[in-house]
């Protein structure tokens, strides 16, 4: 407290002076603030033992938000509050830009053996979906190395620092940050889990070789069984539970099931011949196709063969999978019996172990969302998007990638997204998916109206041509998009949607 008052006093005294040389502030300090490097290290690498965090290569906007929060007292820390308040706005911007531009620390001193490696790794790469807790890496990127301006790296930070932050969110000593995401997430972690996940990240090297960075999270290497769901939790008892991953079968059949899981999670990487965008099956079927109300694969498996109005014929499960590659993945259909389809089918079959053969099984598909009171509206949808979605999917809807090109946040429109023939291109499907699953980690927080508005907004942007294109947009609309549930062929902002896609080019 004393240091806070002292710091504020100095801040006022200095407020007329404008420093704003980031390197000087960091390395030699200014009147009221000691050189940052005395604690954060000469290369911004931090000092693990002392709990001084790494600053090098964290996003500038992120760093500045932290300094502002220390300065206005909403992020409580006795050491940093007076230092941040001693800096002018321009100083904070300059020193943030300085640290953001420093390279990622090459590697870290080997940390102590993690206390509970498997619980930490499991939260990091799989999450705990029984409590709607996504994997840390769905936002912090593969290996927790950070993505974009708002999602800081977790690697390169000490276990003490990481666990202090999670505890600070639990107690309100750190402001909730963008969309309040971390406050929601930290609240779901027990004390032991905070320790386990902090130890997990402290033990990872911050800069693994590039090849490792390009590998998507959890592909191939299966973390330990996620902690068992609380048996009293309502979600757990009401719907079918697929077997835990620790029960993946051994032997040759097990190998094919694992391969199917890998294709499901890392589709462009594992089935490149048939994929024409950066989406993954798991982008729209969350938690590796296990999550109820996110069109889970166990529910799909027990529902085929089935008549489909889309093709006006009875489709087998493999034929249904072919459609996903053609439309959602904007690629081409693997031939029936192709190893990719056999692997995906085997994975779905295994997930459905013990499920009743029943197309009405609870948790199938996305829960249908009745049309809202007011018909869906582009302008309202644009606002919903800016406030709830752009943080992750980008202002222009094209998502966000790591430096090695891995799409952490998938594209919602544009050339790298699903094409006009995809199920997600129907406004009703998109609204249902969004209401039940988005924003990530905050499902169910949008109203029905907001979900419809933002679904219409998303589907009012250009995307790859419908593979069933007949040679004219009008003809294609009449044949395949006449339901009123699609924006294909309609005019938005003076342009006819579907017209700029032209003929679909073979992705080969």
Footprint of ligand HEC on residues 453-482 (CB under 6 A)? 454, 458
How far apart are alpha carbons 99 and 321 in whole angstroms? 47
Site membership for ligand HEC, residue 25 (CB under 6 A): yes
Give the angle 80-81-86 at the CA atoms, nearest 5°: 100
How far apart are alpha carbons 44 and 3 in whole angstroms? 24
User: Least distance in Å: CB of 240 to ligand HEC?
Assistant: 13
Contacts of 182 (CB under 8 A, 6+ apart): 169, 174, 176
User: Least distance in Å: CB of 468 to ligand HEC?
Assistant: 14
Within 51-110, which residues bind ligand HEC (CB under 6 A)? 51-53, 55, 58, 62-63, 65-67, 77, 79-80, 83, 87, 95
Q: Which is nearer to ligand HEC, 50 or 472 (CB)?
A: 50
Taking each helix axis as running N to C, give the angle between helix 427-437 and helix 448-458, from 0 to 180 degrees, rounded to the nearest 10: 130
User: Least distance in Å: CB of 210 to ligand HEC?
Assistant: 22
Q: In the stretch 274-293, what mask flags binding to ligand HEC with x, by CB under 6 A?
A: -----x-xxxxxx-------
How far apart are alpha carbons 147 and 145 in whole angstroms? 7
Mapped onto helix, strand or coil, the DSSP state of residue 290 is coil
**Pair of tokens at residue 301:** 């498996």
> Does the bond joining 135 to the residue before it have cis omega, within 30 degrees of 0?
no
How far apart are alpha carbons 436 and 409 in whole angstroms? 18
Q: Which is nearer to ligand HEC, 203 or 424 (CB)?
A: 424
Pairing of strands 495-496, 407-409: unpaired
Contacts of 136 (CB under 8 A, 6+ apart): 123, 124, 125, 127, 144, 154, 197, 201
Q: Which is nearer to ligand HEC, 170 or 251 (CB)?
A: 170
Q: Which is nearer to ligand HEC, 14 or 95 (CB)?
A: 95
Within 363-402, which residues bind ligand HEC (CB under 6 A)? 364-365, 388-389, 391-393
Q: Which is nearer to ligand HEC, 403 or 472 (CB)?
A: 403
Within 129-188, which residues bind ligand HEC (CB under 6 A)? 134, 136, 138-140, 150-152, 154, 157, 161-162, 164-166, 177-179, 181-182, 185
User: Least distance in Å: CB of 246 to ligand HEC?
Assistant: 20
Q: Which is nearer to ligand HEC, 57 or 476 (CB)?
A: 57
User: Least distance in Å: CB of 109 to ligand HEC?
Assistant: 18
How far apart are alpha carbons 440 and 450 in whole angstroms? 15
User: Least distance in Å: CB of 235 to ligand HEC?
Assistant: 18
Q: Which is nearer to ligand HEC, 88 or 157 (CB)?
A: 157
- Residue of the chain from 195, 261, 320, 435 that contacts ligand HEC (CB under 6 A): 320
- Residue of the chain from 267, 428, 459, 486 that contacts ligand HEC (CB under 6 A): 267
Indicate the helix (H) or strand (E) that contains 235.
helix 234-238
Site membership for ligand HEC, residue 318 (CB under 6 A): no
Q: 278, 280, 276, 324: which is closest to 300 by C-alpha?
A: 324
Q: Which is nearer to ligand HEC, 48 or 438 (CB)?
A: 438
Q: Phi first, then psi: what are they for 491, rounded to 5°? A: -95, 125
Helices (H) and strands (E) in the chain, counts: 25, 6
**CA-atom Rg of the chain in angstroms:** 25
Interface region with ligand HEC, contact rule CB under 6 A, candidates 36-44, 209-217, 221-229, 462-470: 36-44
Q: Which is nearer to ligand HEC, 381 or 498 (CB)?
A: 381
Q: Which is nearer to ligand HEC, 101 or 472 (CB)?
A: 101
User: Least distance in Å: CB of 392 to ligand HEC?
Assistant: 3
Within 328-367, which residues bind ligand HEC (CB under 6 A)? 328-329, 344, 364-365
User: Least distance in Å: CB of 462 to ligand HEC?
Assistant: 14
Q: Which is nearer to ligand HEC, 121 or 458 (CB)?
A: 458
Q: Are 355 and 245 in contact (CB under 8 A)?
A: no
Q: 22, 175, 150, 40: which is closest to 87 by C-alpha?
A: 22
Q: Are 107 and 205 in contact (CB under 8 A)?
A: yes
Q: Which is nearer to ligand HEC, 183 or 236 (CB)?
A: 183
Number of residues near ligand HEC (by CB under 6 A): 92
Q: In the stretch 406-445, what mask flags binding to ligand HEC with x, by CB under 6 A?
A: ---xxxx----xx---xxx----xx--xx---xxxx----
Within 217-246, which residues bind ligand HEC (CB under 6 A)? none
C-alpha distances in angstroms, 374 versus 370, 382, 450, 486? Answer: 12, 16, 10, 17
- Residue of the chain from 100, 130, 204, 300 that contacts ligand HEC (CB under 6 A): 300
Q: Which is nearer to ligand HEC, 302 or 473 (CB)?
A: 302
Indicate the helix (H) or strand (E) that contains 408.
strand 407-409
Q: Are 370 and 116 in contact (CB under 8 A)?
A: no
Interface region with ligand HEC, contact rule CB under 6 A, candidates 13-21, 33-41, 108-116, 487-495: 33-41
Please classify residue 12 by burial: count the beta carbons closer than 10 Å to its beta carbon, then call 0-12 exposed, 13-18 middle and 19+ buried. Answer: exposed
Q: Are 19 and 30 in contact (CB under 8 A)?
A: yes
User: Least distance in Å: CB of 105 to ligand HEC?
Assistant: 13
């Amino acid at each position: 407290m004393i240091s806070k008052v002292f710091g504020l006093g100095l801040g006022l005294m200095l407020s007329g002076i404008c420093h704003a040389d980031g390197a000087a502030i960091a390395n030699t300090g200014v009147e009221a603030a000691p050189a940052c490097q005395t604690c954060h290290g000469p290369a911004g690498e931090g000092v693990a033992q002392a709990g001084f965090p790494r600053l090098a290569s964290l996003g500038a906007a992120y760093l500045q938000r932290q300094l502002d929060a220390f300065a206005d007292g909403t992020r409580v820390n006795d050491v940093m509050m007076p230092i941040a308040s001693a800096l002018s706005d321009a100083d904070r911007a300059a020193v943030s830009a300085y640290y953001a531009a420093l390279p990622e620390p090459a590697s870290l001193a080997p940390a102590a053996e993690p206390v509970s490696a498997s619980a930490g790794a499991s939260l990091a790469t799989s999450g705990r979906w029984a409590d709607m807790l996504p994997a840390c890496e769905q936002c912090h990127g593969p290996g927790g190395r950070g993505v974009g301006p708002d999602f800081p790296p977790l690697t390169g930070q000490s276990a003490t620092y990481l666990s202090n932050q999670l505890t600070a969110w639990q107690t309100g000593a750190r402001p909730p940050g963008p969309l309040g995401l971390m406050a929601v997430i930290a609240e779901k972690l027990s004390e032991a889990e905070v320790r386990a996940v902090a130890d997990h990240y402290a033990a990872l090297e911050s800069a693994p070789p590039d090849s490792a960075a390009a590998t998507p999270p959890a592909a191939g290497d299966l973390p330990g069984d996620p902690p068992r769901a609380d048996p009293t939790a309502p979600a757990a008892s009401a719907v079918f539970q697929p077997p835990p991953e620790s029960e993946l079968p051994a032997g040759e059949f097990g190998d094919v099931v694992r391969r199917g899981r890998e294709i499901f999670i890392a589709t462009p990487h594992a089935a490149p011949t048939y994929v024409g965008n950066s989406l993954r099956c798991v982008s729209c079927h969350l938690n590796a196709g296990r999550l109820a109300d996110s069109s889970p694969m166990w529910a799909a498996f027990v529902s085929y063969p089935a008549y489909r109005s889309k093709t006006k014929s009875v489709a087998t499960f493999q034929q249904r999978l072919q459609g996903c590659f053609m439309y959602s993945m904007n690629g081409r259909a693997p031939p029936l019996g192709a190893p990719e389809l056999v692997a995906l089918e085997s994975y779905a079959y295994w997930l459905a172990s013990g499920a009743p053969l029943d197309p009405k099984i609870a948790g199938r598909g996305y829960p249908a969302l009745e049309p809202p009171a007011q018909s869906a509206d582009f302008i309202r949808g644009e606002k919903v998007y800016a406030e709830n979605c752009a943080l992750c999917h980008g202002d222009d809807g094209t998502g966000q990638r790591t430096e090695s090109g891995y799409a952490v946040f998938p594209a919602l429109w544009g050339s790298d997204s699903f094409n006009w023939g995809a199920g997600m291109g129907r406004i009703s499907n998109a609204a249902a998916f969004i209401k039940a699953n988005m924003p990530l980690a905050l499902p169910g927080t949008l109203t029905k109206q907001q979900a419809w508005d933002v679904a219409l907004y998303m589907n009012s942007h250009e995307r790859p041509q419908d593979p069933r294109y007949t040679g004219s947009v009008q003809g294609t609309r009449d044949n395949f998009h006449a339901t009123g549930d699609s924006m294909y062929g309609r005019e938005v902002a003076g342009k006819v949607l579907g017209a700029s896609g032209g003929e679909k080019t073979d992705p080969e």
